[in-house]
Amino acid sequence: MLGRAVFLLSLVSTPAFAGASFDCQKAVTAQEKKICADPVLSDLDGEIATAYKGAMQRLAHDKVAQAALMKDQRSFVAERNTYFGLSNFDMKPFMAGQRDFLASIDGAPRNGLVGLWADSSTSRATITREGRGFKVWAKTVDGPREVWSCEWDERVKPQGEALIGLDGEEPVARFARKGALLEMKDLPELAPGKTRDSLPAHCGPNGKLDAVLFPVAEKSLATTAPTPLAAPVKDIAELFRLLPLNAFDMTTDGLDDKEKADLVAKQESPSWKIRRISPDKMVVTPKVGAGTVTLSLRPFEGGVLEVHTQNMRVSSYQYFKLTADGKAVQPHAPALVAQVLNEATNGSDGTDAELPFRRIDAAKVPQELKDYVVTRGDCVHWAGEAGEGNKARSAEIARNVKRLGCDGLDAKDKTFRAKYKGNDDALAVLNRVKELEAER
């Protein structure tokens, strides 16, 4: 399953259900029609609806928790609709994961913080007793793309009914109950609109630990996420060994064979240090100067390795896929819509140091805008096709350009910019499309 947690239900079972949660005779959206066209997806949609209803009933004693679950479910639907537009994405395990998550939500009263906690994006936490104290392991994911943003596995100390995460003696994280929920926060808390001067040591670029998690049944949640890139490569450390040195060309100092060997063997070299590593994410930083290289497994298009280089004023991306024999990685060019929704942007050209880089929140991007990006990608494809000297091929290219309405896309861009003037994520999508088209 691509970047999705595997929920192994032990205390809660999912009720049988046949058919979609809505009347397929009245299906209107492209997503509804795709669900109705596939019996497995149709059944999963119905099972999700049943599991959601059951979870809401189990949380009936806590209206705040119900409201949070409603918001979480809406985010899942928006994410699902986005993935319907991506090629080579297996929707069945993705929807099954949501069904199992909802079925695993535990409505039984829970005292204190001990237990398993999760949300539908697979952010999660495990809190256990350890002697007279507590042990906290927590991870959050980066938006809807299911790659780890922050990971906590450090010291905590009780403070009232909360647990405070410590970096040395400095409080940097807080874990506390919010009714039936677990609320995780980075410290110190920031005023709205403010950003941090430096990155928390437990987070990757742009990462934050902030999340609200639901109680889930014991043993229902796997503690590690499966890699979207299949065997024989086991984890991102092995992928790093296969990565060509030119993947570091966008950094100030670059990387040579000796430093790469040192990083593999000792997690540091004379110029570089691996700051954080998990099975699906590695953060590498220079010992002198600013900059971060983050290797992440991304779930789209059958699983890709993303190399994100971020300096003070530049943010760049490279993508790689594992070869069929598992012995190398090779450069990969994602579909335009996958690349746009995945990459960091602040709606500018990426050179304004006053604006922090952030990822587009796909849940806030209207579906018609995602469809527009797909169309632009198709238009880029046909515009790059060669038809000179071949009348039949030239006619085919012209038919597709006309069918897609490629000549009217710039006018649509202006219309969308006016329509979504207050939607920063929508405008960021429009800006990023133009940037990527110029690069292609």
User: Domain check: are 73 and 122 in the same one?
Assistant: no
**CA 296 – CA 290 distance, rounded (Å):** 20
Ramachandran assignment for 326, one of left (phi > 0), alpha (psi -120 to 50 degrees), beta (any other): left
The verdict on residue 227 lying in a domain is: no
Say how many domains are in the chain.
4
Q: Output the six-digit token pair for 201.
A: 């040591």
The answer to whether 341 touches 301, Cβ cutoff 8 Å, is: no
The verdict on residue 14 lying in a domain is: no
The verdict on residue 316 lying in a domain is: yes
Domain of residue 121, residue span: 115-216
The verdict on residue 173 lying in a domain is: yes
User: Domain check: are 122 and 191 in the same one?
Assistant: yes
Q: What pLDDT is recorded for position 431?
A: 86
Q: Single out the residue in 73, 104, 135 at which a domain terminates.
A: 104
User: Domain check: are 62 and 156 in the same one?
Assistant: no
Is the whole model's pTM more than 0.75, yes or no?
no
Q: Output the six-digit token pair for 360.
A: 């587009």
Q: Single out the residue in 342, 373, 407 at which a domain terminates.
A: 342
Please provide the DSSP assignment of 393-404 as one string. Answer: HHHHHHHHHHHH
User: Domain check: are 245 and 199 in the same one?
Assistant: no
User: Domain check: are 337 and 371 in the same one?
Assistant: no
Residue-wise pLDDT tens digits, 44-93: 999 999 999 999 999 999 999 999 999 999 988 988 888 776 665 778 88
User: Domain check: are 369 and 288 in the same one?
Assistant: no
User: Domain check: are 253 and 319 in the same one?
Assistant: yes
User: Domain check: are 330 and 242 in the same one?
Assistant: yes
Residue-wise pLDDT tens digits, 371-417: 888 888 888 878 877 667 777 778 888 888 888 888 998 999 999 99
User: Domain check: are 201 and 265 in the same one?
Assistant: no
Q: Where are the beta strands (DSSP E) in 8-72?
A: none
Question: What distances in angstroms separate CA 150 from CA 9, 282, 308, 419, one per listed residue?
Answer: 26, 11, 16, 35
> How buried is 228 (Cβ within 10 angstroms: 0-12 exposed, 13-18 middle, 19+ buried)?
buried
User: Domain check: are 378 and 430 in the same one?
Assistant: yes
The verdict on residue 326 lying in a domain is: yes
User: Domain check: are 81 and 158 in the same one?
Assistant: no
Q: What pLDDT is recorded for position 86?
A: 66
Q: What pLDDT is recorded for position 155?
A: 86
Q: Single out the residue in 158, 182, 216 at which a domain terminates.
A: 216
Determine the straight-line distance between the first and last CA of the chain, rounded to whole angstroms.
31
Q: What pLDDT is recorded for position 349?
A: 38
User: Domain check: are 205 and 249 in the same one?
Assistant: no
The verdict on residue 221 lying in a domain is: no
- pLDDT at position 3 over 50: no
The helix (run of H) or strand (run of E) holding residue 273 is strand 272-278
Average pLDDT, the chain: 79
Average pLDDT over residues 132-147: 72
Cα torsion angle, 104, 107, 113, 114, sign: negative
Q: Output the six-digit token pair for 366.
A: 């209207």
Residue-wise pLDDT tens digits, 175-189: 999 999 999 998 887
Cβ neighbours of residue 165 closer than 8 Å, sequence gap 6 or more: 136, 152, 154, 155, 156, 171, 172, 173, 174, 175, 187, 202
